[in-house]
Amino acid sequence: MRVTIVFIAITLLVVGCNQEPEKRESMELALKPRPNILLIVADDLGYGDIGVNGSEIDTPNLDLLASSGLRFDQFHTLPTCSPTRSMLLTGVDNHLNGLGTMKEDKLPHHEGLPGYQGYLNDSAVTVAQLLRDVGYQTYMSGKWHLGMEEEGNYPSAKGFSNTFALLNGGANHFNDLGTNANVPVASYTENGMPVERPEGYSSNLFTDKLLGMIGGGDKQSPFFAYLSFTAPHWPVQAPQDAISKYEEAYAEGWDAVRSKRFERMKSTGLVPQELDLPARSIDVPAWDTLSGREQENEARKMAVYAAMVDNLDANIGRVMQYLENQGELDNTVIVFMSDNGADPYDRSARNAYQEYFEATDVNNEKNNMGAADSYLFQGLGWAQVSSVHLKHYKFMLSEGGTRVPLLVYNESLVTDENVRDQFASVADITPTFLALAGAQHPGTEYQGKPVFPLRGRSLVDYMTGRSGSAYAADEAVAFELFGNASIYMGEWKGLRLREPWEPARWKLYNLANDPSESIDLSSSEPEILQVLLGKYAAYESDNGVVDEPSDVTAYPQLPRYRSLSN
**Active site members:** 81, 145
Angle at 538 between CA 87 and CA 424, to 5 degrees: 40
* Alpha-carbon span 443 to 458, nearest angstrom: 15
Give the whole-angstrom CA distance, residue 329 versus residue 237.
31
Counts of helices then strands in the chain (DSSP H, E): 15, 20
| Sign of the alpha-carbon dihedral angle for 165, 170, 173, 175 | negative
Nearest 5°: the CA angle 494, 500, 501 is 40
DSSP string covering 459-508: -HHHHHTSSS-SS-TT-EEEEEETTEEEEEETTEEEEE--TTTS-SSEEE
Sequence-distant (≥ 6) Cβ neighbours of residue 216 within 8 angstroms: 162
Q: Distance between CA 454 and CA 268 in Å, rounded?
A: 36
For the chain, report the end-to-end CA distance as a whole number of angstroms. Answer: 40
Pairing relation of β-strands 162-166 and 70-72? unpaired
Closest CA to 347 of 560, 549, 82, 192: 560
b/e code 486-519 from CB counts within 10 Å (16+ = b) = bbbbbebbbbbbbeebbeeebbbbbbeebbbbee
Instruction: Please report how many Cα atoms fall inside a 13 Å half-sphere around the Cα of residue 368, on the Cβ side.
Output: 10
With 0-12 / 13-18 / 19 or more C-beta atoms within 10 angstroms meaning exposed / middle / buried, residue 303 is buried
- As a whole number of angstroms, the distance between CA 539 and CA 111 comes to 22
Please give the Cα distance from 118 to 115 (Å, whole number). 8
SS (H, E, C) 27-83: HHHHCCCCCEEEEEEECCCCHHHCHHHCCCCCCHHHHHHHHHCEEECCEECCCCHHH
Which of 347, 341, 263, 246 is closest to 302 using CA atoms? 246
Indicate the burial class of 562 (C-beta count within 10 angstroms; 0-12, 13-18, 19 or more).
Answer: middle
Q: Are strands 75-76 and 424-425 parallel, antiparallel or unpaired?
A: parallel
